[in-house]
């Protein structure tokens, strides 16, 4: 690769800033950049941008330095997560966004969001930098440093003008891999006997002291805090759907076993998390899908697991091979001890009365990162 190409300059800046993972989604304008990044930096191709926010947050919490490389249209999918996760917990994330809709844009559907993007970011309180030409490429280095130094996300809007005249090679597309697909599944969802509080109590009492527990937002976090608060617990205060994504990012970057307490409502909101976990199986990650067929923290409104979706089947269809159901304390303990990849726990739609967690988001983050 010619060191003078804009793509190589970007990779050199990423390496200079010790970026050690890139979460990516494609854009036609950066089709030569993405494969070059993948050759030089560990890369996780995404199926949805918001899922990448969680993965990168977990990676940072575990001591890594992530970056996202996406098309600017995907920022519309990320605003809530950037505010409720990154800005709330003070988690840095440089986001290189191929800026569509403005420079020589022929696709009409790109115009509206593209032209409004700077105003949207400014109104959201998200720091951003515009790189309008290759002469301004050093702004990327400054933006990455600014993000990590000030512990917040920083979007770098890169005009397609940057790549004009590039001599970078564009790889030939890969054909689908011929393979046999065999799938056998027989699920048996029994009448629940446990409540979620009992399931979380079993988790807290069973896992080793040096393992990580990440709890889903709302009542599950409150229940875990009341049952067994510890510095290796990470409590979610918002960003519904991202707890398993955070667990994946954490498990990638460090060696402790990570147990994620997720729920049916949250998993159904972001099944992309299961797809990423299936695509990148990590031996030190266990997702515990506690299924009460209800949105427990908002008044127990019914979810479609009540009579339609089997979460274990969803996990298997996403490529997660080691799955199991648990209806009792003993079954849950056995699944936890063998560190199954996905544990589908059937519980009643009952919420325990618990106090609020007395820590701010930044206090949760800082005490967790001191021991992880």
What's the CATH fold of domain 6-163?
A: Rossmann fold (3.40.50)
Profile the chain (372 residues) by mean pLDDT over runs of 10 residues: 83 98 96 96 96 98 98 96 98 98 96 97 98 97 98 98 88 88 88 97 97 96 97 96 98 97 95 95 96 86 90 96 97 97 97 94 98 96
Helix and strand counts by DSSP (H, E) for the chain: 15, 15
Q: Which CATH architecture has domain 194-371?
A: 3-Layer(aba) Sandwich (3.40)
Helix axes 272-279, 243-253, angle to 10 degrees: 20
For the chain, how long is the longest CA-to-CA vector? 65
Task: Give the separation between CA 218 and CA 221, rounded to whole angstroms.
Answer: 6
Q: What is the pLDDT of residue 313?
A: 96
Helix axes 272-279, 49-61, angle to 10 degrees: 60
CA dihedral sign of residues 126, 247, 67, 268: negative
Instruction: Check if the beta carbon of residue 356 is closer than 8 Å to that of residue 344.
Output: no
Task: Give the separation between CA 345 and CA 247, rounded to whole angstroms.
Answer: 18
| Domain spans, the chain | 6-163, 194-371
Instruction: Check if the beta carbon of residue 90 is closer than 8 Å to that of residue 365.
Output: yes
Of 50, 91, 22, 73, nearest in space to 266 by CA: 50
Task: Give the separation between CA 292 and CA 274, rounded to whole angstroms.
Answer: 19
Task: Give the separation between CA 147 and CA 88, rounded to whole angstroms.
Answer: 14
Q: What is the pLDDT of residue 182?
A: 83
Are 6-163 and 194-371 equal in CATH topology?
Answer: yes
Strand partners, 156: 96, 129
3-class state of residue 78 by DSSP: coil
């Amino acid at each position: 690769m010619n060191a003078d190409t804009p793509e190589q300059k970007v990779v050199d800046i990423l390496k200079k800033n010790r970026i050690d993972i890139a979460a990516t989604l494609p854009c036609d304008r950066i089709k030569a950049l993405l494969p070059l990044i993948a050759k030089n930096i560990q890369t996780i191709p995404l199926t949805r941008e918001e899922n990448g926010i969680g993965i990168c947050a977990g990676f940072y919490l575990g001591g890594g330095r992530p970056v996202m490389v996406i098309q600017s249209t995907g920022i519309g999918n990320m605003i809530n997560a950037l505010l409720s996760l990154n800005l709330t917990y003070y988690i840095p994330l440089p986001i290189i966004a191929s800026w569509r809709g403005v420079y020589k844009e022929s696709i009409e559907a790109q115009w509206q969001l593209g032209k409004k993007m700077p105003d949207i970011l400014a109104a959201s309180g998200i720091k951003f930098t515009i790189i309008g030409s290759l002469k301004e490429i050093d702004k990327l280095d400054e933006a990455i440093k600014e993000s990590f130094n000030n512990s917040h996300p920083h979007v770098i809007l890169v005009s397609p003008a940057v790549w004009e005249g590039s001599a970078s090679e564009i790889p030939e597309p890969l054909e689908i891999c011929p393979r046999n697909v065999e799938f056998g599944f027989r699920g048996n969802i029994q009448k629940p006997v446990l409540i979620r509080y009992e399931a979380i109590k079993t988790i807290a009492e069973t896992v080793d002291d040096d393992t990580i527990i990440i709890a889903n937002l709302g009542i599950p976090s409150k229940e875990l805090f009341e049952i067994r608060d510890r510095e290796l617990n990470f409590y979610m205060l918002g960003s519904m759907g991202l707890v398993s994504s955070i667990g994946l990012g954490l498990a990638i970057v460090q060696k402790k076993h990570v147990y994620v307490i997720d729920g049916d409502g949250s998993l159904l909101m972001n099944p992309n998390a299961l797809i990423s976990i299936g695509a990148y199986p990590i031996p030190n990650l266990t997702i515990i899908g506690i299924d009460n067929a209800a949105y427990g923290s908002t008044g127990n409104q019914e979810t479609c697991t009540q009579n339609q979706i089997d979460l274990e089947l969803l996990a298997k269809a996403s490529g997660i091979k080691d799955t199991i159901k648990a209806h009792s304390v003993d079954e849950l303990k056995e699944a936890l001890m063998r560190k199954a990849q996905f544990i589908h726990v059937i519980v009643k739609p009952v919420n325990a009365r618990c106090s609020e967690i007395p820590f701010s988001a930044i206090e949760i983050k800082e005490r967790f990162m001191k021991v992880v």
